[in-house]
Chains A and B, each alone.
Chain A
Amino acid sequence: MGVTVVGVRGHPVVVEAHIGRGLPSLTLTGLPGAPVQDARDRIRPAVESSGLEWPLRRIVVNLSPGNVRKDGPGLDLPIAVSVLAASAQVPGDRLARFAFAGELSLRGSTVSTPGVLSVAIAAARAGLEGVIVPAANVGEAALVDGLRVVGAPMLADAVGFLRGAWDPPVAVPGRPQQARHGPVDFSEVRGQAQARRALEVAAAGGHNVLMVGSPGAGKTMLARRLATILPGLSSEEAVEVTQLHSVAGLLDGAGLVASRPFRSPHHSISLPAMLGGGSGYVRPGEVSLAHHGVLFMDELTEFRRDAIEALRQPLEDGRIVVTRMAGAVEFPARFTLVAAANPCPCGYEGDPKRQCRCLPHRIQLYRQKLSGPLLDRIDIRLIVPRLSKRELLGEGAGEPSAAIRERVEEARARQRDRYASLGYPCNAQLPGPVARREARMSRGAHEVLARAVDALALTGRGFDRALKVARTIADLASADEVSADHVAEALSYRTSLSEGSLARAG
């Protein structure tokens, strides 16, 4: 049995081969995609290089069910094995109890194949005894409990195992994959106390963040560290993330992705790379690779407008649907968005030390590039000032990430308890009316918000955002009721880019 992967889900595929009379040929039926068709010419040399015999007759391999399009290179191994079984070169007893996945090389060796974790999960769900996968993918397949994982370096080894002639080593889960961004920690950040605090609030409530600041202010440095203070991944979340990274072919032999991903796509990224797609086999895009982690978009204004607009669906639903001719493919994509932008085209508006050289209408145009609807989903907007030497002087090392994460986890636990019956994981996900109902504001808090509508020209949406952020600040303080001070602090994270001066609110 083989498995094809659609999105991140594996779908079992029964592979059957028939060897009949006729000129030597190999025909694939059952909606094989282009990458599977591609395998036809690869399988014969692989079999022959393995010291096995390729039947020189007319071979038909059927992949069923016939209504699911099969994509991806993982079907090489099951096709080869089914042909060998049809020509009585391997015994049938283990065939039905194992799923096969893996790409083959012409030399007959197996090649690391994307999506093996999804294959293994599907095999376990189908009640199979085990999976036979390329040796390079053992680490991820072994994450699935109760499944026998056979890692075959060569096609010949897989055949040896089926014949009972080869005893594979016990598969061990790969070492948990550490953050690919290297060990970073908040204690390395000097100064920027307001930004540090704002990111703590963002992590505690799951809020998206916009950072506006001059080049060199430290926006990237701060964004990287947000992933280190988010609450730890639960084991289900970790498997989801690992599956996505496996399907994208990013695992590289490692096991579980144990830390929250941090993805920072370059602004020249194409739409399919951002959202998912690709010819034939649909790969998850950056929004899905950032699932349960941080998607950092530096130079937000430089991104293609359609790429920015397309973020609205994942920000809203936590998933992305890639629609293809052959049907829609869905990937999970629930991430914390951190966007960074310069305050103006030259980058120095509002900097006390350097003169901004932009014409006012250029600044206007620049800010219009940030779409309103995207900005609406960003609760925390922050100006990150470029610090002078004097301002950095005497600033000690900050608090380590672990200490901040402890507070964040407590605040998240409070939210989970409060919203258990409503089904929202955190404050940021609350729709406006629910937030207004659930916030538990003190009278003073109401007064401050009401005053802010006039004094700070707070809009209706700005009102809801401030409310949610204030709720998170109260959660960080372990307070049941939102106080006036919580609201006032929330109001300090509301700088808007789109309306004229940086100082004004939105």
Chain B
Amino acid sequence: MPGEKPTEDPGHASSGDDGSADQDRRPTRWHPGFADGRANRRALLVLTALRGITPRQLLEVADREGSASACLAAVKAGRAGSAADREVARELDPAAIEADVAACGARFAPHGSEAYPPQLENLKDPPAGLFVRGLPLPRRDRTVAVVGARNCSDLGRDLALTIGRDLAATGMCTVSGAARGIDAAAHEGSLEAGGDTVAVLGCGIDVGYPRGSRALIARIAEVGTLVSEYPPGVPPEPFRFPARNRIVAALGTALVVVEGAQGSGSMISAEHALDLGRDVFAVPGAITNPLAYVPHALIREGATLIRGVDDLMRDLKLDGGPGLPRRRLDLTLAEQATLDLVTEPVLPERVGRGLGLSVPEVLPLLVSLEMKGLVRNVGGRFEPRLDARAG
């Protein structure tokens, strides 16, 4: 059993002694190679489908057992998860999940793969793997999360729409949860301005929920990115939405809360963002307005008050001054994400792995960048062209 490896001591596991990995900013307790290889990937697919084992619990099981295959064996043996999980784990066929993933045009980025977004590593309970549909995920510093109430006011709606639009206009990507209200407005604003948007779902990657957002989700699958930690077919359930919120918070470099009533999910998102050290922005309201409850609470905790989209843009240094790295507006999101990975002479398959794309999928992107004069092919590797970068 791989579980008998010396890494079992939790006190030492956190010292991150697999120092070779470059993503070692903050140690996690996934064993190195937790999801490496086909067998582990398939085991992990089954694990993502289990209801009775939270990501946090899975992390603990993995710490004890080692690889994903070993974790699955532990579930089957009854050492982890619920009795129902044991049944499911025995019956589920990973090949069927793989087929479902492929059928809905999604791909799976397990923890430890290059397509796994590194910004999720800092979560206390990072997802063990992510299902992604559509374009590759943009870098964290190009992404802002916008969240808020489902039953929002018209004013809040307009504001979220404007924020999405203005962010898109400066080449920033908007991430949200595809819920009714503020979430949907932020996505729509971004799409309207031809920008990029990422929706994190609280259900299976192929499930169009909430119903009212079905058309929006379908459109994002086409021109943006859908993300979920749940495999195809998983129904939406109450406990999945707070879990979804942590991913929303972690993907962005900043989080904007537009409106939120007491006890709403926006508070959870914001607390995750604060834990992760992300900038949190909140739009205030009248003290009598129940939808201002969360923003006010956050401002008291140290969030930055914004009086509108201008404040946000100024604080994010997106109002024209030198600031965050900007997406070139003559590039598509996919091209920008590709360009971001070409920092030194690099093989196309390596770029592809970083984006979760196959070689035939990534070659057109590289050729397109080559035609725009941004990269060149030297001896079979692609490298950036400095003259073009400066301009």
Interface residues of A (CB under 8 A from B): 191, 193-194, 196-197, 213-214, 343, 349-352, 382-385, 387, 391, 395-396, 448, 451-452, 455-456, 473, 484-489, 491-492, 495, 502-503
Instruction: Provide a sorted-by-A list of 20 A–B residue pairs whose CB atoms are within 8 angstroms.
Output: A191-B349, A193-B348, A193-B349, A193-B352, A194-B349, A197-B359, A351-B379, A384-B380, A385-B381, A391-B350, A455-B371, A473-B360, A484-B364, A485-B361, A485-B364, A488-B364, A488-B365, A489-B360, A492-B363, A502-B378
Assembled-state Cα–Cα distance A488/B380 (Å): 16
**Contact bitstring B337-374, A, C-beta under 8 A = 1, else 0:** 00000000101111010000001110111111011110
Q: Looking at the assembled complex, report how far the CB atom of A487 sits from the nearest CB atom of chain B, in whole angstroms.
A: 8
Q: Looking at the assembled complex, report how far the CB atom of B19 sits from the nearest CB atom of chain A, in whole angstroms.
A: 15
* Residues of B in contact, count (CB < 8 Å): 26
Contact A213 B349 (CB under 8 A): no
Residues of A within 8 A of B373 (CB): 455
Q: Looking at the assembled complex, report how far the CB atom of A111 sits from the nearest CB atom of chain B, in whole angstroms.
A: 51
Contact B367 A491 (CB under 8 A): yes
Contact B377 A385 (CB under 8 A): no
Q: Looking at the assembled complex, report how far the CB atom of B217 sits from the nearest CB atom of chain A, in whole angstroms.
A: 24
User: Do A383 and B379 contact each other (CB < 8 Å), given the known contacts A194-B347, A194-B348?
Assistant: yes
Residues of B within 8 A of A488 (CB): 363-365, 367-368
Interface residues of B (CB under 8 A from A): 37, 345, 347-350, 352, 359-361, 363-368, 370-373, 376-381
Q: Looking at the assembled complex, report how far the CB atom of B37 sits from the nearest CB atom of chain A, in whole angstroms.
A: 8
**Apart from A193-B349, A382-B380, 12 more pairs, CB < 8 Å:** A191-B347, A193-B348, A196-B359, A213-B379, A343-B379, A385-B381, A448-B368, A484-B364, A487-B364, A488-B365, A489-B364, A491-B367
Assembled-state Cα–Cα distance A495/B366 (Å): 14
Assembled-state Cα–Cα distance A491/B368 (Å): 9
Residues of A within 8 A of B347 (CB): 191, 193-194, 385, 387, 391
Q: Looking at the assembled complex, report how far the CB atom of A393 sits from the nearest CB atom of chain B, in whole angstroms.
A: 10
Closest to B361 in A: A485
Assembled-state Cα–Cα distance A391/B364 (Å): 22
Assembled-state Cα–Cα distance A412/B371 (Å): 30
Q: Looking at the assembled complex, report how far the CB atom of A343 sits from the nearest CB atom of chain B, in whole angstroms.
A: 7
Residues of A within 8 A of B367 (CB): 488-489, 491-492
Assembled-state Cα–Cα distance A456/B375 (Å): 12
Which 4 A-B pairs rank lowest in CB-CB distance, beginning with the nearest? Answer: A350-B379, A385-B380, A488-B364, A193-B349
Assembled-state Cα–Cα distance A484/B371 (Å): 13
Residues of A within 8 A of B365 (CB): 488
Residues of B within 8 A of A382 (CB): 380
Assembled-state Cα–Cα distance A485/B338 (Å): 15
Residues of B within 8 A of A387 (CB): 347
Q: Looking at the assembled complex, report how far the CB atom of A210 sits from the nearest CB atom of chain B, in whole angstroms.
A: 13
Residues of A within 8 A of B379 (CB): 213-214, 343, 349-352, 383, 385, 502
Q: What is the predominant secondary structure among interface residues of chain A facing chain B?
A: mixed
Contact B381 A213 (CB under 8 A): no
Contact A503 B378 (CB under 8 A): yes
Closest to A391 in B: B347
Assembled-state Cα–Cα distance A196/B361 (Å): 14
Assembled-state Cα–Cα distance A197/B357 (Å): 14
Q: Looking at the assembled complex, report how far the CB atom of A100 sits from the nearest CB atom of chain B, in whole angstroms.
A: 57
Question: Which residue in A384, A385, A456 is a CB contact (below 8 Å) of B370?
Answer: A456
Question: Which residue in A194, A343, A349, A495 is a CB contact (below 8 Å) of B363?
Answer: A194
Most buried by B among A194, A352, A383, A484: A194
Residues of B within 8 A of A473 (CB): 360
Closest to A489 in B: B363
Closest to B381 in A: A385
Residues of B within 8 A of A492 (CB): 348, 363-364, 366-367, 377
Q: Looking at the assembled complex, report how far the CB atom of A131 sits from the nearest CB atom of chain B, in whole angstroms.
A: 51
Assembled-state Cα–Cα distance A455/B363 (Å): 16
Question: Which residue in A384, A385, A484, A503 is a CB contact (below 8 Å) of B376?
Answer: A503
User: Do A352 and B371 contact each other (CB < 8 Å), given the known contacts A485-B364, A492-B363?
Assistant: no
Q: Looking at the assembled complex, report how far the CB atom of B239 sits from the nearest CB atom of chain A, in whole angstroms.
A: 36
Q: Looking at the assembled complex, report how far the CB atom of A462 sits from the nearest CB atom of chain B, in whole angstroms.
A: 13
Q: Looking at the assembled complex, report how far the CB atom of A200 sits from the nearest CB atom of chain B, in whole angstroms.
A: 9
Assembled-state Cα–Cα distance A193/B347 (Å): 9
Residues of B within 8 A of A349 (CB): 379
Assembled-state Cα–Cα distance A486/B345 (Å): 24
Residues of A within 8 A of B359 (CB): 193-194, 196-197
User: Do A352 and B381 contact each other (CB < 8 Å), given the known contacts A194-B359, A385-B347, A488-B367?
Assistant: yes
Residues of A within 8 A of B363 (CB): 194, 197, 488-489, 492
Most buried by A among B361, B363, B380, B381: B380
Residues of B within 8 A of A391 (CB): 347, 350
Assembled-state Cα–Cα distance A485/B379 (Å): 22
Closest to B36 in A: A394
Assembled-state Cα–Cα distance A214/B381 (Å): 13
Closest to B372 in A: A455
Residues of A within 8 A of B378 (CB): 350, 502-503
Question: Which residue in A350, A396, A456, A485 is a CB contact (below 8 Å) of B371?
Answer: A456
Contact B381 A452 (CB under 8 A): no
User: Do A352 and B376 contact each other (CB < 8 Å), given the known contacts A197-B359, A492-B366?
Assistant: no
Assembled-state Cα–Cα distance A315/B371 (Å): 31
Residues of A within 8 A of B368 (CB): 448, 488
Assembled-state Cα–Cα distance A484/B378 (Å): 23
Residues of B within 8 A of A451 (CB): 371
Contact B345 A352 (CB under 8 A): yes
Q: Looking at the assembled complex, report how far the CB atom of A55 sits from the nearest CB atom of chain B, in whole angstroms.
A: 73
Residues of B within 8 A of A385 (CB): 347, 379-381
Question: Which residue in B350, B372, B377 is a CB contact (below 8 Å) of A383?
Answer: B377
Q: Looking at the assembled complex, report how far the CB atom of B352 sits from the nearest CB atom of chain A, in whole angstroms.
A: 7
Assembled-state Cα–Cα distance A418/B350 (Å): 36
Most buried by B among A395, A396, A473, A489: A489
